[in-house]
Chains A and B, each alone.
Chain A
Amino acid sequence: MSDSNATTNKAAAPPGRAAFHLSINNPIVRAVLAQLGVALAVALVAWYLVGNTMDNLARLSIASGFGFLDREAGFQIGETLVEFGPQDHYSTAFLVGILNTLKVSGIGILLATLLGVVLGIARLSSNWLVARIAAFYVESVRNVPLLLQLFLWYALLTEGLPGPRQALAPLPGVFLSNRGLKLPAPADDPIWAWVAALFGLGIILTLVIAAWNAKRQAATGKRLSLLPIGLGLTLGLPLLVLLASGGGAIDMPVLQGFNFRGGMTLSPEFAALLFGLVIYTAAFIGEIVRSGILAVPKGQTEAATALGLTRGQLLRLVVLPQALRVIIPPTTSQYLNLTKNSSLAVAIGYPDFVSIANTTINQTGQAVEGVLSIMGAYLIISLSLSFLMNWYNSRVALVER
């Protein structure tokens, strides 16, 4: 720091404050020096590690860089959300992996939350049996390693179900076998796009009406029952259009050769991973929900009861909104855990991002780049999730005035 800086500082300092001295005895100077020292040390270590890695890789004749992403992958992937074949590039394979990870994490988070809330409430139930069953569930599930639970689910699904030629057919077009659950799917037909659009429109309309309804209730105290309106708009309208058009084409699964062709598939690998993640994480979320509910003062419940609210209304309108403030932050961690735990997929054959990146590493030898990609992908997913949850948390947080 130069003298002129010190002078400026002195000039800017409000009257009555001590003048700035460039001396080791000055705590500000010491603090800045310490910070600089730490930053320098971190930079040096990073420089050494990166440089050394490059040297070692060069010595081992391993090419570095991400050029391999443009090469043909050559392997096949069992389940994909986007079109993929062996002739596609490694970058597409990575995309397939990330989408598969997002698919299982997204659905997992949704289901784990639902099951967790039910569990948390059940543990506080005044019904002895319900409370005990919930407690037993939580204690047994969260104390067994997730990997073992995944193996259990996978073994149950593959060993417990019959082969495709003896598949169970509970409904026409629905087949359950050790190749997974086969369902009829909408075939390639423009009518389905209309149905989907109407469904989306129905949701938007319902939300608008709900907002109007809330305003009206605040003003007049009158309230419309939303359930029939919502159902009619989201389900009834698309269904009417579908019926009016004479029904869309449906792709039915049929047994052909070794396996079913057509329709939608819920694979045993995906199902086992989803079950495992949901059941495991729900146990933790259940405990968080219970702690959140217990954190709401008893007076709130008593006041709500005194107002004549039903038990359902009490939970929905009084207890849960206040409990959410306690529930959200730890639940965010559980969501992050679920997402990261989905990488255990490799053990039971679900092609998640880690599984595909591992195959790529082995075929290209680009271990450092592969591991960096895995870390980068999880970092981005986790940070986005936690950003989203923090935003939601700030919305439900108590507004202090």
Chain B
Amino acid sequence: MNLRLGGAVALAAAYVAFTAVPAFAGPTLDAVKSKGQLTCGVNTGLPGFSSPDSQGKWTGLDVDICKAVAAVILNDTNKIRYTPLSAQQRLTALQSGEIDLLVRNTTWSLTRDAQGLDFAPPVYYDGQGLMVAKSLGVTSAKQLDGATVCVQPGTTTELNLADWFRAHNLSFKPVVIEALDEVNAAFFAGRCDVLTTDISGLAGVRASVATKPDDFIILPEVMSKEPLAPVVRHGDNQWRDIVSWTIYALIEAEEKGITQANIDAKLKDPDPSVQRLLGVQGDLGTGLGVDKAWAYRAIKAVGNYGEIFERNIGKKTPLKLDRGLNALWTNGGLMYAPPIR
């Protein structure tokens, strides 16, 4: 793992050193169109967000965002090359041009935004949590003084963890392991009292890795705000607009009740905002650099935001996550699309 990672970092460094400057000047949209393929950076395997199934097909909420973007630009959700990336490789991979778009449960933060990256709107509002074995008899994170905590490196998780324990004047010992599988294995083997990552990630790990999911609880404390958002390179505004409005279109579709199943019927909907969204009226796509049926293709390919949520991480999936903050604004959540007009 380390060799691969070291290799990737070295390669990225070499890439930065060897590539001539103009490689970054061309808009990503043209590059994707001429390649006929979207290169999407995803998680190496996080159930519900991005993980390969037994046939090697990628599924998950993050993967569906990649598919929506591919549908908008290339009208084909199969023309995507998924590049699984570790937490440490992901930003370098995007900066060096190895991938066009990063949808890998990445937290939007100022440092990252200022570091040559730009963020699209969050596709999942998460928070960092702590998971412990029930047998430990702990009900609040404030009882965790002196605990050993398993954590993956190179994430905001590591910083939030240190901040939270500092703020509450508690001590802890981190065990920092690079590979997701290994850090999970160490936790379930009992090397650590606590496993920490985003709450959605904890739910995913509990559902897929634990032999008895009911033996583990996620503590009520939410240690941080984690708006998980797709990332693009800084400076390519057109590309960022396309990714952003694709996500807004999916949210707007849910608000307007447009689903993968009823979208063709909705083409005849008299509501002008639906007609504008689906390209029946007007030509909103041209401003973005795509055609007018862009949103139609995205919704047709993956469904609206609510459908994506329920299919991948909702109540009927092993993750059993509530909509919570990720409900539409009309239902008290944070999912809100600016006017599409």
A367 and B154 contact, CB distance less than 8 A = no
Interface window among B33-41, B53-61, B110-118:
B110-118
**8 Å CB interface, B1-37 against A:** 1-3, 5-6, 9-10, 12-13, 16-21, 24
Complex-state Cα separation, A370 to B155, whole angstroms: 16
Complex-state Cα separation, A97 to B80, whole angstroms: 40
**8 Å CB interface, A147-188 against B:** 147, 151, 154-155, 158-159, 163, 178-179
Q: Which of A257, A351, A358, A370 contacts B145 (CB 8 A)?
A: A257
Interface window among B177-185, B202-210, B295-303:
B177-185
B116 and A163 contact, CB distance less than 8 A = no
Q: Which of A76, A155, A259, A358 contacts B185 (CB 8 A)?
A: A155
Q: Which residues of A contact B19 (CB under 8 A)?
A: 52, 56
Q: Which residues of A contact B12 (CB under 8 A)?
A: 367
Interface window among B186-194, B280-288, B330-338:
B186-194
Complex-state Cα separation, A191 to B146, whole angstroms: 30
B24 and A359 contact, CB distance less than 8 A = no
Is B163 part of the contact surface with A, judged by Cβ < 8 Å? yes
- Number of A interface residues, CB 8 Å? 55
Is A77 part of the contact surface with B, judged by Cβ < 8 Å? yes
Q: Which residues of A contact B144 (CB under 8 A)?
A: 258
A347 and B136 contact, CB distance less than 8 A = no
B174 and A258 contact, CB distance less than 8 A = no
By size class, the interface of chain B is 35 or more
Q: What's the least CB distance linking B219 to chain A, in Å?
A: 14
Is B227 part of the contact surface with A, judged by Cβ < 8 Å? no
Complex-state Cα separation, A60 to B96, whole angstroms: 9
Q: Which residues of B contact A74 (CB under 8 A)?
A: 159, 162-163
B162 and A76 contact, CB distance less than 8 A = yes
B91 and A362 contact, CB distance less than 8 A = yes
**A86-B162, A155-B185, A343-B6 as given contacts; A61 in contact with B177, CB under 8 Å:** no
**A62-B116, A349-B176, A362-B91 as given contacts; A158 in contact with B186, CB under 8 Å:** yes
Complex-state Cα separation, A314 to B213, whole angstroms: 64
Complex-state Cα separation, A77 to B159, whole angstroms: 11
Complex-state Cα separation, A40 to B112, whole angstroms: 40
Which of B146, B147, B165 counts the most A-chain CB atoms under 10 A from its CB?
B146
Is B153 part of the contact surface with A, judged by Cβ < 8 Å? yes
Q: Which residues of B contact A60 (CB under 8 A)?
A: 16, 24, 95, 116, 233-234
Is B310 part of the contact surface with A, judged by Cβ < 8 Å? no
Is A368 part of the contact surface with B, judged by Cβ < 8 Å? yes
B162 and A354 contact, CB distance less than 8 A = no
**8 Å CB interface, A277-323 against B:** none
| Closest residue on chain A to residue B114 by CB atoms | A61
B81-106 interface code vs A (CB 8 A; 1 in, 0 out): 00000011001100100000000000
| Closest residue on chain A to residue B193 by CB atoms | A258
A348 and B177 contact, CB distance less than 8 A = yes
A155 and B189 contact, CB distance less than 8 A = yes
Is B158 part of the contact surface with A, judged by Cβ < 8 Å? yes
B146 and A256 contact, CB distance less than 8 A = yes
Q: What's the least CB distance linking A147 to chain B, in Å?
A: 7
Q: What's the least CB distance linking B13 to chain A, in Å?
A: 5
| Closest residue on chain B to residue A371 by CB atoms | B13
Q: Which residues of B contact A363 (CB under 8 A)?
A: 111, 154, 158-159
Main secondary structure of the interface of A (DSSP, over half): helix
B153 and A362 contact, CB distance less than 8 A = yes
Q: Which residues of B contact A159 (CB under 8 A)?
A: 189-190
Which of A86, A259, A354, A362 counts the most B-chain CB atoms under 10 A from its CB?
A362
A257 and B146 contact, CB distance less than 8 A = yes
Q: Which residues of A contact B175 (CB under 8 A)?
A: 78, 269, 349
Is B225 part of the contact surface with A, judged by Cβ < 8 Å? no
B2 and A362 contact, CB distance less than 8 A = no
**A62-B116, A179-B191 as given contacts; A371 in contact with B154, CB under 8 Å:** no
Given contacts A155-B185, A349-B183, 14 further A-B contacts (CB under 8 A): A56-B16, A60-B95, A61-B114, A62-B95, A158-B189, A258-B146, A259-B148, A259-B193, A346-B5, A349-B178, A358-B153, A368-B16, A371-B10, A371-B13
4 pairs of A and B residues whose beta carbons are closest in the complex: A362-B154, A86-B162, A60-B116, A349-B177
Interface residues of B (CB under 8 A from A): 1-3, 5-6, 9-10, 12-13, 16-21, 24, 87-88, 91-92, 95, 111-112, 114-116, 136, 144-148, 153-155, 158-159, 161-163, 165-166, 172-179, 182-183, 185-186, 189-191, 193, 233-235
> What are 18 pairs between A and B in contact, CB < 8 Å?
A52-B20, A56-B24, A61-B234, A61-B235, A62-B115, A74-B163, A76-B172, A86-B163, A147-B3, A158-B189, A158-B191, A258-B144, A345-B2, A346-B2, A347-B2, A362-B87, A363-B154, A367-B13
Interface residues of A (CB under 8 A from B): 49, 52-53, 55-57, 59-62, 74-78, 85-87, 147, 151, 154-155, 158-159, 163, 178-179, 256-259, 261, 268-269, 343-349, 351, 354-355, 358-359, 361-365, 367-368, 370-371
